[in-house]
A and B are shown apart, each in its own frame.
Chain A
Amino acid sequence: MEITIEQENSVRIIALSGRLDILHAEAFENTIVEHIDNLNENKMLIDCENLSFISSAGLRVFMIALKKMKAKLGKLVLTGMNESNRKVFQITGYEKLFTIAESREEGLSLFYLS
């Protein structure tokens, strides 16, 4: 799995590609926690457009990120999920907890609405 970090105005973007399984969950967790701890504006977008698969171990990291962002009164948006990843979020109920946008552009716009 590859993790790419970008910054667009005040939003930190974490772009994921490949498979997020048990082998890559720890690296993802370390990266995401480090970036959340160092955010200036508490705005983060995780772009999943090129993420082909999320296992339960990977899903756990998304929840850690959400809890940390909530604790900082920040905003976290997920974008670009494929059908099977969306299904995983649906059946676990995580879909109800996360703000999920279809595309990066739509996701970014959510940061500037309010």
Chain B
Amino acid sequence: MTETVLQINKDPKELPRAEQEMLKLPFAQNCDQETLDEIYTILEELLLNIINYGFKEAPKSIEDISVIFREDGNTLTIIFRDNGAPFNPLTKLRDENERDEFNLEMNIGGWGINMVRDFSEQLDYKREGEFNIFTVTKKIN
């Protein structure tokens, strides 16, 4: 098992750096482009959630965002850890029955967490002390 921790600043411009760092990791050397794009989508969606929502409620809090990549065989676990306000992205998951024309148009961008779910095997959230811990488990090839 290998584990790498990335520290991320509270800035969407950090995303390219996060992606570049991700691409250097051992698992990325053996993944096809489609899998890498899915992992990038997961990164972008969840980091933007943290930056846009997690710190909005407590802007003066100590800024601390970590992304932990844990590779174990053909399983990649990505753990997002931040000390923003309590925020569970799973509450933003929308029911598939709501995926009609009206809701898709009215909730622009509101389906991102559904994309994360579709690109992964398991999602878990917990609040641990002052930290949000969101864990994504994904099979990699």
* B93 beta carbon closer than 8 Å to chain A: no
Which of A59, A91, A93, A97 has the most chain B CB within a 10 Å cutoff?
A93
The contact of B109 among A23, A57, A83, by CB within 8 Å, is: A57
A94–B99 Cα distance when bound, in Å, is 9
* B48 beta carbon closer than 8 Å to chain A: yes
The residue of chain A having its C-beta at the shortest distance from the C-beta of B111 within the complex is A92
* B128 beta carbon closer than 8 Å to chain A: no
The residue of chain A having its C-beta at the shortest distance from the C-beta of B35 within the complex is A84
SS class, residues of chain A in contact with chain B: helix
Contact-size category for A: 20 to 34
The residue of chain A having its C-beta at the shortest distance from the C-beta of B16 within the complex is A23
* A66 beta carbon closer than 8 Å to chain B: yes
SS class, residues of chain B in contact with chain A: helix
* A55 beta carbon closer than 8 Å to chain B: yes
Residues of B near A96 (CB, < 8 A) are 101, 104
- CB contact under 8 A between A97 and B101, given known A60-B108, A84-B34: yes
The residue of chain B having its C-beta at the shortest distance from the C-beta of A96 within the complex is B101
Residues of B near A64 (CB, < 8 A) are 108
Residues of B near A67 (CB, < 8 A) are 105, 108
Task: Check A57 against B37 for contact (C-beta < 8 Å).
Answer: no
* A28 beta carbon closer than 8 Å to chain B: no
B110-134 interface bits toward A, Cβ cutoff 8 Å, 1 = contact, 0 = none: 0110110010000000000000000
Residues of B near A57 (CB, < 8 A) are 44, 48, 109
* B60 beta carbon closer than 8 Å to chain A: no
The contact of B104 among A53, A55, A93, by CB within 8 Å, is: A93
A25–B6 Cα distance when bound, in Å, is 24
* B24 beta carbon closer than 8 Å to chain A: no
Residues of B near A59 (CB, < 8 A) are 109
Having A21-B15, A53-B37, A66-B105, one finds 15 other A-B pairs with CB under 8 Å, namely A55-B44, A56-B109, A57-B44, A57-B109, A63-B104, A63-B105, A67-B105, A84-B37, A88-B115, A93-B100, A93-B104, A96-B104, A97-B101, A97-B104, A97-B105
Between A and B, 8 residue pairs with Cβ closer than 8 Å are A23-B12, A53-B40, A56-B41, A56-B45, A56-B112, A56-B115, A91-B114, A91-B118
